[in-house]
Amino acid sequence: MTTDVTGTDVTDADATAAGTTAAAPPVTRSAVGWRDLAWLTWRQHRGGIGACALVVAGAACLALALAAHITASGHSRHELFGVFDYPDLAQVLTLTPLLLGPVVAGFWTAPLLAREYEQRTHLVVWSQDVTAVRWLTGKVVLLGVLAVALAAGLGSSLVVLMDSVNATSVDYAPFRPFESQVFEAAPQVQAAYAAFAFALGLALSALTRRTVVSMGLALVGFAFARFFVAAGWRPHYREPERVLEPYVADGLLYSRMLDDDSWVVDSGYADAAGDEVDFPRYCVTTGQDVDPAYTKCVTDSGVAQHYADYQPGDRAAAFQWVESAVFAVPAAALLVLVFVWVRRSHRV
């Protein structure tokens, strides 16, 4: 049964008898609801979302399957299809989160607003009964929640895999807590990375209004932020501890400390009082650092000890929460900036 233009119900037989085609009834809505915005967002972005979710789900399922087999067998000396070693596969899988943030920043959110401005579709969309803020809220909620959920899920599966490999390793744990892929795989860290990537791409999209420009800036900006925090800030979330030992020409203080879960963030030479001193390069003349003359030259120059600054392994969990906050707080600030910016500038 359909409804004619006057609002009278008519059956399909009546429509056929009248020589008309029984078309789908027009749907009139008094307002666009959140369900409509979610459906529209899904329709517009289902290709990117589906492809990304498929890759992430595949990596997570593979990680969990490997972990289950390792745990059940009690060792990790297996091969997939007789070719790929489980430990090698685990190493490769731990690198997959490196791609998720750039994808979210560069391909999910960087075009989100810029494309609307470039194609002038915002003139139509935001001039109806959907305000710019309401339209943006629908996009942010659906896409943002998906990005964070995918990142946290992938990180969780990788943690399970790395724990299973470490638990079945006898002499050497391949995954140390402060190694970058281990540290960054924590679900809360991955979620913060995804939130920051999402907010960064969206902010650049709103500010530049150019799709290609915002995509390029988002990719570069996200990579720079990750590198800057990892190399410049992460070693100093807490004051490192220092260990000293008497100087010997072939001292192995640094390498010995790498055998446990500690993270050596700095090392060098110190005098008898423990103060740092520069290494006397002029003592190196023959390249034989065990030469007695070489050792005497170094000690006569004031070098009395080796030192190593390190972060103990039991600090890794606290550092992961700190890093999560380092990215989550700017992400929230960027989202606020985007909403304020769009609300003020949406007039057409």
Q: Worst-scoring range by mean pLDDT, 179-188, 220-229, 285-294?
A: 285-294
Cα–Cα distances in Å, from 164 out to 70, 228, 318, 336?
Answer: 7, 31, 22, 41
Contact present, 35 and 42 (Cβ < 8 Å): no
- Residue 1 pLDDT exceeds 50: no
Q: SS3 for 169?
A: coil
C-alpha 25/C-alpha 2 separation (Å) is 6
Q: What is the pTM of this model?
A: 0.83
Return the higher-pLDDT residue of 65 and 12: 65
Measured CA to CA, the distance from residue 49 to residue 225 in angstroms comes to 24
Query: How much is the mean pLDDT over the chain?
Result: 84
Helical ranges in the chain per DSSP H:
12-17, 34-73, 86-93, 97-103, 110-118, 122-125, 132-167, 180-183, 187-208, 211-228, 253-257, 292-300, 316-345
- Give me the pLDDT at residue 173, please: 81
Q: Which of 191, 195, 102 is nearest to 153 (CA)?
A: 191
And the tokens for 95?
Answer: 């690198």
Is 114:209 a contact under the CB 8 Å cutoff? yes
Sign of CA dihedral 46, 49, 52, 53: negative
What single string gives the DSSP state of each residue in 259-299?
A: TSS-EEEEEEEE-TTS-EE---GGG-SSS-TT-HHHHHHHH
Tens of pLDDT along 123-170?
Answer: 777 776 778 888 888 889 989 999 999 999 999 999 999 999 999 887
Is residue 11 over pLDDT 70?
no
Residue type, 128: Q
